[in-house]
């Protein structure tokens, strides 16, 4: 691992740290250390990083703004690549948008709405980066990334980069081909938007933002929705009807505002969150015979769920 770090530093790929606590880089403020933590300065730095990881046969994981993630208390073996502000370029040509993976999805949605372009209203309250949103097909309010993405520029584990079409991304509910078949890092995304009435678009954005503000606990450290909706049921509704709002294990608590959110109520560990997830799964199955599946991505060494 020392040889990997030395090569990354010599090639000036970006910031390179050893045993960096991932609690500093997740919205839940939970997570042990990354054995090697890399924040590339550029796409070129990212490519050099991937070549070095392949050369030294080191496992890797990419993150954006750390939402939708639960990192184990023991941390991550291998490398964690953070796509941050150095990959937040944007180019708008009429209604065609090309944007870097590190761009804040919320900031992008606000900027686009003020230009009278429609398509990203659903994203007005989704924390995270464009890359992460494409990776998991983020969505809300009846829409998602798959509805507007034309293609994504992907850096694959073998070091090759290519543009992948919407169809080739194999989007489904909160899922893409990058999770299922072809591990890779979203470097850029291209979206096609629609011209509309600026005031109407901004009004919808504000309505979505206000709804999230009064129904979801984004003022507290959390990872977003914990469970996928077991359609035709809704995860939050089932959890609330089971009387679990406010239930707490260790420092992890089911939000008083929304049943499908777990908040870090104070020095929570990943183990507390996992225990709470398992408790919810068991309770909902016993009460309603419904199997709950997690939407939050759990990474690192964890005990059996």
Catalytic residues: 174, 225, 295
Contact 224, 231 (CB under 8 A): no
Residue 238 burial (CB count, 10 A): 22
- Among 267, 294, 270, 269, which Cα is nearest to 280's? 294
Give yes or no for a contact between 24 and 48, defined as CB atoms under 8 angstroms apart: no
CA 167 to chain CA centroid, Å, is: 21
What residue has token string 């040509």? 93
Residue whose structure tokens are 């300065």: 41
Cβ-contact 234, 201 below 8 angstroms: no
Report the DSSP pairing between strands 90-93 and 96-100.
antiparallel
| φ, ψ for residue 84, nearest 5 deg | -115, -145
């Amino acid at each position: 691992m020392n040889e990997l770090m030395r090569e990354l530093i010599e090639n000036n790929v970006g910031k390179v740290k050893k045993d960096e606590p991932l609690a500093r880089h997740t919205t839940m403020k939970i997570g042990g250390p990354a054995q090697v933590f890399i924040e590339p300065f550029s796409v070129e730095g990212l490519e050099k990083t991937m070549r070095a990881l392949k050369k030294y046969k080191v496992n890797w994981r990419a993150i954006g703004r750390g939402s939708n993630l639960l990192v184990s208390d023991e941390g991550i073996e291998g490398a964690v690549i953070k796509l941050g502000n150095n990959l937040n370029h944007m180019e708008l040509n009429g209604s065609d948008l090309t944007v870097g993976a590190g761009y804040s999805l919320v900031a992008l949605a606000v900027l686009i709405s003020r230009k009278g372009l429609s398509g990203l209203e659903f994203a007005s309250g989704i924390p995270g980066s464009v890359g992460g949103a494409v990776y998991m097909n983020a969505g809300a309010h009846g829409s998602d990334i798959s509805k507007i993405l034309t293609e994504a520029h992907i850096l694959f584990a073998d070091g090759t980069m290519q543009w992948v079409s919407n169809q080739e991304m194999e989007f489904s509910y909160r899922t893409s081909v990058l999770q299922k078949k072809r591990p890779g890092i979203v470097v850029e995304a291209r979206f096609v938007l629609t011209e509309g009435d600026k005031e109407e678009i901004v009004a919808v954005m504000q309505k979505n933002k206000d709804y999230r503000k009064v129904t979801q606990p984004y003022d507290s450290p959390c990872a977003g929705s914990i469970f996928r909706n077991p359609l035709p049921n809704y995860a939050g509704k089932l959890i609330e009807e089971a009387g679990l709002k406010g239930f707490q294990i260790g420092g992890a608590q089911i939000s008083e505002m929304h049943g499908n959110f777990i908040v870090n109520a104070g020095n929570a560990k990943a183990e507390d969150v996992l225990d709470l997830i398992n408790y919810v799964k068991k309770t909902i199955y016993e009460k309603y015979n419904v199997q709950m599946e997690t939407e939050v991505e759990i990474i690192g060494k964890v005990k059996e769920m």
